[in-house]
Amino acid sequence: GKGLAVFTSGGDSQGMNAAVRAVVRMGIYLGCKVFFIKEGYQGMVDGGDNIVEATWSSVSSIIHKGGTIIGSARCQEFRERSGRLKAAKNLVARGITNLVVIGGDGSLTGANLFRSEWSSLLDELVQSGQITKEQQTKFAHLHIAGMVGSIDNDFCGTDMTIGTDSALHRITEAIDAIASTAYSHQRTFIMEVMGRHCGYLAIVTALTSEADYVFVPEMPPPRDWPTKLCSKLEQERSTGQRLNIIIVAEGAIDQDGEPITAEKVRQVVVENLQQDTRITVLGHVQRGGNPSAFDRVLGCRMGAEAVMALMEATPETESCVVSLDGNQAVRLPLMECVEKTKAVTKAMASKDWENAVQLRGKS
Ligand code: ATP
């Protein structure tokens, strides 16, 4: 059968295990020889015990686990051609010519580069006697299918990335817990949530928790936000509300591009309203814990689709990223989505928020 390997790269997220499980089982079902590559690109470069054959039962009892059981890492060596040469040798040695990468835009960019260099890497390996001419001919084409695992939901082309829904659940639970204590003591709570340059987690959890105010990177507040914020909080209290919740996305910024931090917001509230105000930074709790049912199903569907895409691929087929469009798992051109995602970050860096939001479109 065809050699197929799956690995997770970049930051972990809930639901990655479901995706790994689906890749392994769909691969075996379709007659492939399936491998795990542990520790992301680092395992691919290092080879050895990092690349092991997967069995049907080796992915039993992982669907409910958070994180990624095959490990994830950042790998400097893979950014260099010499590292990718080692990786190519390790794959050829095992007959792997199909890769499923689960990671963020960096990981997908690396995979795309690897594919575009594949034939020249094999040339070099033949010339230096590290692989045979027969191996070069037999494993001449590398196919790539990607999936985005990230709680941030910051990738262009997919409605949801794997892990986002679980993070929403975790944040909502945390805010519910905070709200009950805030209610008792008539406090104001400022919750800092993750998302990097994307305000999705902040916006959605602000809705699910009836927050009074939310700060996100994509829509800097008006310059007089301290006044607006305070009058909103006062208005809520005057109608009998016993608590206030403010959500601050970790990447929130003002009109000048300066960070709006939870501490900055706290100072504004304390100085103007003298409210008892506390900050909770949720941190990695958002990335931890069991995946939600949605993320488990998402991982299953995307994993299965990724393997089907690889099995149908010809040498001319463009690398794809499996995305969610409405309720359908679809294949989109990998680099187009990565470029669009990078363009969003660029637009935001140049304070072109309108363009950033438009580019992000369905995400
Ligand atoms: P996250 O969204 O969680 O940060 P990511 O996939 O974007 O995930 P990165 O740290 O950017 O995370 O990339 C993960 C790994 O992918 C890097 O450590 C590196 O090994 C590889 N990689 C990223 N960009 C490139 C690139 N341009 N060329 C080669 N390899 C790359």
Helix spans in the chain (H): 16-29, 40-46, 81-94, 105-127, 133-138, 164-185, 200-208, 225-238, 262-273, 293-312, 334-349, 353-360
Instruction: Say how many Å lie between the CA of residue 212 and the centre of ligand 1.
Output: 36
DSSP state of 34: E
The per-residue pLDDT for range 21-65, each reduced to its tens digit, is 999 999 999 999 999 999 999 999 999 999 999 999 999 999 999
The per-residue pLDDT for range 89-129, each reduced to its tens digit, is 999 999 999 999 999 999 999 999 999 999 999 999 999 99
The per-residue pLDDT for range 119-162, each reduced to its tens digit, is 999 999 999 999 999 999 999 999 999 999 999 999 999 999 99
ipTM: 0.98
Q: In this structure, what token pair is assigned to residue 310? A: 């690889």
318 φ, ψ to 5°? -70, 150
The active-site residue, picked from 152, 154, 165, 295, is 152
Confidence check: pLDDT of 198 > 90: yes
Is the sign of the CA dihedral 304, 323, 75, 259 positive or negative?
Answer: negative
Q: Ligand 1 in contact with 104 (CB < 6 A)? A: yes
**Mutation test of ligand 1: which of 42, 76, 78, 105 has the most ligand atoms closer than 8 Å to its C-beta?**
78
Confidence check: pLDDT of 363 > 50: no
Best CA proximity match to 112, nearest among 341, 336, 346, 345: 336
Instruction: Say how many Å lie between the CA of residue 246 and the centre of ligand 1.
Output: 33
Burial group, residue 240, by CB count within 10 angstroms (0-12, 13-18, 19+): exposed
- Asked about 152 being catalytic, the answer comes back as yes
- How many Å apart are CA 359 and CA 254, to the nearest integer? 20
Confidence check: pLDDT of 247 > 60: yes
**Mutation test of ligand 1: which of 72, 79, 150 has the most ligand atoms closer than 8 Å to its C-beta?**
79
Q: Ligand 1 in contact with 163 (CB < 6 A)? A: no
- How many Å apart are CA 334 and CA 294, to the nearest integer? 23
Q: Ligand 1 in contact with 110 (CB < 6 A)? A: yes
Instruction: Say how many Å lie between the CA of residue 243 and the centre of ligand 1.
Output: 42
- How many Å apart are CA 18 and CA 28, to the nearest integer? 15
Annotated binding site for Mg(2+): 105
pLDDT at 360: 80
CA dihedral 241, 193, 101, 32 (to 10 degrees): -40
